[in-house]
């Protein structure tokens, strides 16, 4: 296996996990900056042509993992691979952000849900999406339906 | 940083990279199985309610990285963070698959583009997508336009 290394760090308005919007209908429209390390800047070539990016990052302030647990907004327990819980066997996270602008090695983005200072592992272009009508969302849709009653 | 570990392995029809469909308009509808290790099976609880999953895996047969390079279907070079190149600073890959069925710790899926035996790092539910009309795809769209001329 490889040894993960940071390619950069997130600058985010969130300094503690409590301040990050969570749960059903949470809006993720906070702006932040993906600050890529100088030695990786060349890898950003042409990235500004994409409207959205996948950001792969680490839950660097999470410890251990739980295979089953309850998300903050649903009292029912779910398997870790059915949730976005930070307590995963590999503490890897994925966020889709909208790319607002690029200035050199700084990417200004909308949609950050990371803590300030979070290490970034990778950035990938968002090339296509599953049409909304084809997506089934299991326990999440059920929890939403219960909430809206 | 954490030490990555496999939570399972991909069973795929592809045994060498040449056989994996690549390039503009490549269809990824091959079926395969995500075989999760017994000790992580509990983490799959409720996963069957989701139609699509993010699979995070490693390019375990790729070595080193290249910050800029030409994809197989475009002679122009692009930054690694603007492509899906396997030669990345962190050899982490991301594939969206359709979940066809679950039998215990085996997930039968459509859309694999991994080699047989590839280590899986994480599985996450696909919860929402960016509407197609909001996605800009930079160099990829330009390359497609040139091809269709």
- Chain A hits for B78, Cβ within 8 Å: 45-46
- What band does B120 get if pLDDT is binned at 50, 70 and 90? very high
Indicate the pairing of strand A119-125 with strand A52-58: antiparallel
B47 vs A60, A79, A132: nearest CB: A79
- pLDDT tens digits, residue range B21-32? 887 777 789 999
pLDDT tens readout for residues A126-145 = 998 899 999 999 998 888 88
Q: What pLDDT is attached to residue A149?
A: 61
Identify which of A122, A125, A137 has the shortest CB distance to residue B127: A137
| pTM beyond 0.80 | yes
The helix (run of H) or strand (run of E) holding residue B139 is helix B138-148
> CB distance A138–B125 less than 8 Å?
yes
The matching CATH number, chosen from 2.40.30.70, 1.10.1740.10, 3.20.20.140, 3.30.300.30, for A8-148 is 2.40.30.70
pLDDT number for residue B149: 61
B52 chain-A contacts, CB cut-off 8 A: 130, 134-135
pLDDT, one tens digit per residue, over A4-38 is: 999 999 999 999 988 898 877 777 899 999 999 99
Rg over CA atoms, chain B = 16
Mean of pLDDT values over A118-125:
98
Residue B7's contacts (CB-CB under 8 Å, 6 or more residues apart) are A89, A90, B36, B37, B40, B43, B120, B121, B122, B123
Span B61-88, mean pLDDT? Answer: 91
Q: Which of chain B's residues have a Cβ under 8 Å away from the Cβ of A80?
A: 43
Q: What is the pLDDT of residues B80-89, one digit of tens each?
A: 999 999 999 9
Q: Strands, E, within B25-128: which ranges?
A: 31-36, 52-58, 68-69, 78-79, 92-103, 106-110, 119-125
Residues near B56 by Cβ (< 8 Å), separated by ≥ 6?
Answer: A56, A90, A92, A94, B92, B93, B94, B120, B121, B122, B123, B124
Write the ipTM. Answer: 0.94
Q: Do B90 and A56 touch (CB under 8 A)?
A: yes
- CB < 8 Å to B89, chain A: 5, 7, 40, 43, 122
Q: pLDDT tens for residues B92-108?
A: 999 999 999 999 999 99
């Amino acid at each position: 296996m490889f040894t993960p290394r940071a390619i950069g760090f997130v600058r985010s308005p969130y300094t503690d996990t409590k301040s990050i919007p969570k749960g059903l209908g949470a809006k993720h429209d906070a702006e932040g900056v993906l600050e890529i390390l100088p030695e990786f800047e060349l890898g950003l070539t042409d990235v500004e042509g994409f409207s959205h990016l996948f950001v792969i990052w680490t839950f660097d302030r999470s410890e251990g993992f739980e295979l089953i647990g309850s998300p903050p907004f649903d009292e029912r327990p779910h398997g870790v691979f059915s949730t976005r819980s930070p307590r995963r066997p590999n503490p890897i996270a994925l966020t889709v952000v909208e790319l607002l602008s690029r200035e050199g090695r700084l990417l200004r983005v909308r949609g950050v849900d990371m803590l300030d200072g979070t290490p970034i592992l990778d950035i990938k272009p968002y090339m296509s999406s599953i049409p909304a009508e084809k997506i089934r969302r299991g326990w999440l849709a059920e929890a939403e339906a219960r909430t809206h009653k």
